[in-house]
Amino acid sequence: MQAIVLAAGYATRLFPLTKDFPKALLSVGGKPMLDHLVEALGAIEGISAIHVVSNHRFAGHFKNWAEKHPVRGIVVHDDGTSDDATKLGAIGDIDFVMKSAGIDDDLLIVAGDNLLDVDMGAFVRRFYEIGRKTLILAQKIDDVETLRRFGVAETDESGRVIGFEEKPKEPKSQLGVFALYLYPKEALRLLPEYFAGGNSPDAPGNLPAWLQKRAEVYAFVTDRPCYDIGTHESLRAVREIYGE
């Protein structure tokens, strides 16, 4: 198993903080946001490499960070894009890293701007318990306005995803999906079919939404704190919780 951290966005909603600096390396709790995530990934038994994908503008920042990081096996990939108009999108970046690194392996994929107080080991164990089927992270969210900013999953009694919609106007469940996914390599081999169908390369939730109509996808529901940091308000709130 390998891991990909998605960190190639331009975070325009956080300007001017992120105009010349990557969002994933902003400080939260006295260290880069990405440190919290990579430390959790590094503790998972069986992950052989952690790939961080960046845009060209910020690739140097990530390479400098990785060189000094105590977790070994971090590989930084420059996707070659230079602005929001030319970005590959999250799914495009997954495809880019897989091709660049020659990956044909199960992949744990996570957004670099998420802080997830989740037992990663339990998440991986669940992946194997269900027979190496695609697994996504979900959390019950009561507020409808908040749900409209998330991917929303519907599940059956077994936890299998039977419906998934990105940012729905009328959410059909209370399960908001955070950007943590575990894909078996067999599911990732369907990426050429996904792109050939003209599907969006952007939001990472579009892939499991498409996949659940073709293969088994399950939700790992957590009640632990999960934070998606996309605005100045959400960054301030998380810094209050973690400390500056």
Higher pLDDT, 130 or 42: 130
Q: What is the pLDDT of residues 182-191, one digit of tens each?
A: 999 999 999 9
E strand spans, 48-113:
50-54, 74-78, 107-111
Taking the domains of the chain in order of start, what are their residue ranges?
2-242
Whether residue 104 contacts residue 185, with contact meaning beta carbons closer than 8 Å, is answered with yes
Q: What is the pLDDT of residue 71?
A: 85
Q: What is the pLDDT of residues 32-88, one digit of tens each?
A: 999 999 999 988 888 999 999 999 999 999 999 999 888 878 999 999 999 888 999
Fold of 2-242: Spore Coat Polysaccharide Biosynthesis Protein SpsA; Chain A (3.90.550)
The span from the first CA to the last CA of the chain, in angstroms, equals 33
Q: Strand 175-183 relative to strand 134-140: parallel, antiparallel, unpaired?
A: antiparallel
What residues are paired with 166 via a beta bridge?
151
Cis? peptide before 168, omega within 30° of 0:
no
| pLDDT band per the 50, 70, 90 thresholds, residue 203 | confident
pLDDT at 244 over 80: no
Q: What is the pLDDT of residues 81-111, one digit of tens each?
A: 998 889 999 999 999 999 999 999 999 999 9
**Alpha-carbon distance 28 to 235, whole Å?**
8
Which of left, alpha, beta for 167 (phi over 0: left; psi -120 to 50: alpha)?
Answer: left
Which of left, alpha, beta for 192 (phi over 0: left; psi -120 to 50: alpha)?
Answer: alpha
C-alpha to C-alpha distances, 87 to 107, 169, 230, nearest whole angstrom: 22, 26, 17
**Alpha-carbon distance 4 to 13, whole Å?**
23
Tokens for 63, please give them.
Answer: 């390479």
Which residues fall within 8 angstroms of residue 140, CB to CB, at 6 or more apart?
174, 175, 176, 221, 223
**Alpha-carbon distance 140 to 202, whole Å?**
24
The C-alpha angle with vertex 230 and arms to 204 and 126, in degrees rounded to 5, equals 45
DSSP 53: E
